[in-house]
């Protein structure tokens, strides 16, 4: 065990809660509880767990016709500890912890549908180009008080309209939540999650946290999924709730998950930098790849029923396939600043997306653009919502179909992953479509 894990185990008491879990296709933790006596063994040798653990929908329901279910007898594989090791939860019950794992079959081969393996496979493709991606996430979320019944106490008010001013970049809102963010900074620092700036966003109770750039995409995605867990645990301690829904409230801002990316060569030089404000040809190749494959990738960036309520004009959530310099209305933004830090900001993904899959899609698109020296169309200046530009899919069913039609997806991902992910989202869509909601009844029951 790591030194931190050993220290935790000594202080955890006689009956700690120890969870061993992997991230499924939706970025939801799935796993089991183990006794403290098995911690060292699990960290060293892994744990037996069904290969189908990654292969469920958002409600945890098995996928129809899953290749990892009845066709294989729902067989076990091996869940091996990731480089993260053991993570104490630091919730109200201080003697609980999580061991993140990723899945391998009985021959020791990576599970083709484990999101962490999907990302790792794409990352390995960059070695042939002698390039190293440098990546950071920006995470947006809502922080809300809680009523006695457990519901966020602001929910009903925000559902109809905001009763408070937006107060963007308010330091007063940060002051009001000082103890919450103090605890979050402390926990992230203890376990090497590189949390940097916090800012209030475009709606009351909405915040954004920046995670520092790292030169390992797998680690960057680990940081993002662990951060989401940590912040919910800290919220529980403070009697609050955090949601990463893309659009929890209809008339105020949705929450995104922006990704910043640059590439280093063997000497550690940023290949996007050519000492001009416009960036290098390789940067433009990368942008072209992202733009070309955005339609086929939208299902990864906007994976849920709720995701498409965020993608609306005039909301800082992009709807058009375009890029621009210092343009936050574009899907792909090239930030300003010092040329040595020249990078791409990808602004399409919602906060509800799976960080492993989001990075997989972005990096695969970048790789394709660079390998084939693709050229983007001209950058867009000003308000991209008013231009006649090609749009990303505007509905969930359209995005599901586009994902399945994408040749790049078939080239970069295992065939079985493409099949399972598309089937997962189709099954979720069918479940939503089969429901008759209260608003439908109120509209049609008596009047039709």
Pair 207, 74 in one domain: no
Q: Is 36 in the same domain as 47?
A: yes
The answer to whether the beta carbons of residues 259 and 140 sit under 8 Å apart is: no
pLDDT at 7: 65
Spell out the SS3 assignment of 79-134: EEECCCCCEECCCCCCCEEEEEEEEECCCCCECCCCHHHHHHHHHHHHHHHCCEEE
Show the low-confidence residues of the chain (pLDDT under 70). Answer: 1-14, 70-73, 89-95, 147-170
Q: Domain count for the chain, please give it.
A: 2
| Whether residues 36 and 81 fall in one domain | yes
Answer whether residue 50 is part of any domain: yes
Crossing angle of helices 415-433 and 396-405, rounded to 10°: 160
Q: Which of 103, 122, 141 is the last residue of a domain?
A: 122
Q: Clarify whether residues 95 and 189 are in a common domain.
A: no
Could you tell me the CATH number of the domain that includes residue 287? 3.30.590.10
Question: Please, which residues bridge with residue 21 across strands?
Answer: 31, 100
Residue 83 sits in the same domain as residue 204? no
What was the pLDDT predicted at 420? Answer: 95
Nearest-angstrom CA–CA distance, 340 and 367: 21
* Domain membership flag for residue 426: no
Closest by alpha carbon to 179, among 230, 238, 227, 232? 238
Is 432 inside any structural domain? no
Q: Within this chain, do residues 165 and 80 fall inside the same structural domain, yes or no?
A: no
* Same-domain check for residues 73 and 171: no
**Are residues 113 and 25 in contact, defined by beta-carbon separation less than 8 angstroms?**
yes
Residue 235, in any domain of the structure:
yes
SS3 label, residue 225: helix
Query: Which is nearest to 344 in space by CA: 286, 428, 264, 389?
Result: 286
| Residue 18: predicted pLDDT | 86
From 72, 91, 122, the end of a domain falls on 122
Say if CB 34 and CB 42 are below 8 A apart: yes
Q: Where do the H-state alpha helices sit in 279-349?
A: 281-292, 294-301
CA distance 363 to 373: 15
Q: What is the spatial distance between Cα 198 and Cα 211, in angstroms, rounded to a whole number?
A: 10
What pLDDT does 404 receive?
Answer: 96
Structure tokens at 284: 């433009």
The predicted structure's pLDDT at residue 270:
97
Pair (36, 158) in one structural domain: no
Q: Which of 398, 413, 428 is the last residue of a domain?
A: 413
Separation between Cα atoms, residue 27 and residue 395, nearest integer Å: 21
**Look-up of token digits 């590439």:** 263
- In angstroms, the CA 361 to CA 280 distance is 22
Kindly state whether residue 353 falls inside one of the protein's structural domains. Answer: yes
Strand pairing report for 76-81 and 87-88: unpaired
Q: Tell whether 127 and 246 lie within a shared domain.
A: yes
Identify the three-state secondary structure at position 232: helix
Alpha-carbon Rg for the chain, nearest whole angstrom, is 22
Instruction: Kindly state the tokens that stand for 122.
Output: 């794409």
**Alpha carbon 142 to chain centroid, angstroms:** 15
For residue 66, the 8-state DSSP code is -
Tell me: do 59 and 193 sit in the same domain. no
Domain CATH for 20: 3.10.20.70
- Is 11 within a domain? no
Q: Is residue 421 part of a domain?
A: no
Same domain for 367 and 292: yes
Range of the domain at 143: 123-214+230-413
pLDDT given at position 9? 60
3-state SS, one letter per residue, for 236-290: HHCCEEEECCCCCCCCCCCCEEEEEEEEECCCCCECCCCCCCCCCHHHHHHHHHH
Question: Is 2 inside any structural domain?
Answer: no
Q: Based on the domain organization, do 63 and 95 belong to the same domain?
A: yes
Cβ pair 83, 63 in contact under 8 A: no
Tokens representing 25 are 């296709």
In this predicted structure, what is the pLDDT of residue 22? 96
């Amino acid at each position: 065990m790591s030194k931190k894990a050993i220290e935790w185990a000594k202080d955890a008491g006689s009956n700690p809660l120890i969870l061993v879990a992997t991230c499924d296709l939706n970025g939801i933790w799935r796993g089991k509880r183990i006794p403290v006596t098995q911690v060292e063994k699990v960290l060293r040798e892994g744990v037996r767990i069904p290969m189908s653990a990654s292969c469920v929908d958002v409600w945890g329901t098995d996928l129809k016709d899953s290749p990892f279910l009845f066709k294989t007898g729902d067989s076990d594989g091996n869940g091996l500890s990731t480089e993260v090791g053991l993570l104490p939860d630091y919730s109200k019950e201080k003697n609980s912890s999580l061991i993140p794992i990723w899945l391998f079959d009985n021959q020791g081969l990576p599970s083709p549908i484990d999101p962490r393996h999907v990302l790792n496979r794409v990352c390995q493709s960059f070695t042939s180009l002698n390039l190293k991606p440098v990546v950071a996430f920006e995470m947006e979320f809502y922080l809300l008080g809680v009523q006695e019944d457990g519901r966020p106490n602001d929910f009903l008010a925000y559902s109809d309209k905001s009763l408070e001013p937006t107060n963007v970049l308010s330091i007063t809102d940060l002051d009001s939540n000082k103890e919450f963010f103090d605890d979050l900074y402390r926990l992230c620092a203890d376990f090497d999650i590189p949390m940097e700036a916090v800012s209030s966003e475009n709606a009351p109770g909405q915040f954004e946290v920046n995670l520092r750039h790292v030169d390992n995409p797998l680690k960057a995605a680990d940081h993002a999924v662990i951060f989401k867990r940590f912040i919910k645990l800290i919220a529980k301690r403070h009697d609050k709730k955090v949601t990463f829904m893309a659009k929890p409230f209809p008339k105020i801002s949705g929450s995104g998950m922006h990704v910043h990316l640059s590439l280093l060569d063997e000497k550690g030089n940023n290949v996007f930098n050519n000492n001009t404000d416009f960036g290098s040809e390789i940067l433009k190749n990368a942008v072209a790849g992202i733009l070309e494959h955005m339609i086929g990738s939208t299902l990864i960036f906007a994976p849920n029923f709720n995701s498409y309520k965020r993608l609306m004009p005039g909301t800082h959530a992009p709807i058009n396939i375009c890029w621009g310099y210092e343009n936050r209305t574009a899907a792909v933004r090239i930030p300003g600043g010092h040329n040595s830090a020249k990078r791409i900001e990808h602004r399409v993904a919602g906060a509800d997306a799976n960080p492993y899959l989001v990075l997989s899609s972005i990096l695969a698109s970048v790789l394709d653009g660079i390998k084939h020296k693709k050229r983007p169309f001209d950058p867009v200046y000003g308000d991209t919502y008013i231009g006649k530009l090609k749009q990303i899919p505007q509905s969930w069913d359209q995005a599901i179909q586009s994902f399945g039609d994408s040749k790049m997806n078939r080239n970069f991902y295992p065939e079985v992953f493409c099949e399972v992910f598309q089937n997962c989202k189709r099954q979720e869509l069918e479940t939503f479509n089969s429901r008759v909601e209260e608003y439908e009844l109120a509209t049609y029951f008596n009047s039709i």
